């Protein structure tokens, strides 16, 4: 198969799969996630290069992937719909110390994830010390502490 078509197909497929699996898939790297990412990268490498180990195939593949990424970023600049569809939008998951359960459940985030972010970012001890927690576009959790 043509290396450009191969590169595009793998890029789009991996992109769609990670969007389906949700933002937390890449943000939260546990031991299991790290193993999963290693296996996925190995598998996609084989599919990307096939049996063509030439230098030219490598150049074509790198340019295809970088070029596709550049085109995507340009489309995102001009289309807010595409920007949100491809990267998502932030979501408030804790308001005034109160976890917003439905939002958290849908986003596959639990209270322990919020408390972990609160501890590591601000040294907070309890949920009622959190004014807002926001699930960001990249899957990380930002915490705004309650001011006293």
Partner 1 sequence: MTKKAFEIVKTDLEIQEHLDAHKTGFIVQKFGIVFIIGLVVAAALGVFGDGILSKRSDAKGDILLEYERFYRHEARMELSFVMVNVANDAEISFPNQYLKDVRVESIIPEPNSTRIERDKVHYSFEGKGNMRITFYMVPRKMGTLNGSIDLNGHSFSLSHFIFP
Judged by CB under 8 A, does residue 37 bind partner 1?
A: no
Specify whether the CB–CB gap between 48 and 6 falls below 8 A.
yes
Within 46-65, the residues that bind partner 1 by CB under 8 A are 50-51
Q: By CB under 8 A, tell whether 14 contacts partner 1.
A: no
Among 4, 19, 60, 145, binds partner 1 (CB under 8 A): 19
For residues 70 and 106, which CB has a smaller minimum distance to partner 1 in the complex? 106
- Distance CA(74)–CA(128), nearest Å, equals 41
Among 2, 102, 112, 147, the residue binding partner 1 under the rule CB under 8 A is: 102
- For 98, counting Cβ atoms within 10 Å of its Cβ (0-12 exposed, 13-18 middle, 19+ buried), the class is exposed
Separation between Cα atoms, residue 107 and residue 95, nearest integer Å? 16
Number of residues this chain uses to bind partner 1 (CB under 8 A): 26
Smallest gap from Cβ 93 to partner 1, in A, equals: 9
Neighbours of 113 (CB within 10 A): 19
**Strands 141-145 and 91-95, sheet pairing:** unpaired
Helix, strand, coil fractions of the chain, as percent rounded to 5: 65, 10, 25
Q: Which of 72, 76, 132, 140 binds partner 1 (CB under 8 A)?
A: 132
Among 24, 28, 33, 88, binds partner 1 (CB under 8 A): 88
Is 97 a binding residue for partner 1 by CB under 8 A? The answer is no
């Amino acid at each position: 198969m043509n290396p450009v078509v191969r590169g595009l197909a793998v890029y789009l497929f991996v992109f769609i799969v990670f969007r389906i699996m949700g933002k937390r898939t890449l943000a939260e790297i546990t031991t299991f996630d790290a193993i999963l990412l290693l296996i996925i990268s190995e598998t996609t490498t084989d599919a990307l290069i096939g049996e063509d180990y030439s230098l030219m195939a490598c150049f074509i593949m790198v340019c295809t992937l970088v070029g596709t990424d550049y085109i995507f970023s340009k489309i995102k600049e001009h289309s807010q719909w595409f920007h949100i569809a491809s990267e998502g939008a932030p979501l408030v998951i804790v308001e005034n110390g109160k976890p917003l359960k439905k939002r958290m459940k849908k986003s596959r985030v639990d209270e322990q994830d919020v408390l972990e972010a609160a501890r590591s970012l601000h040294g907070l001890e309890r949920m009622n010390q959190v004014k807002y927690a926001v699930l960001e576009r990249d899957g990380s959790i930002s915490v705004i502490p309650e001011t006293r």
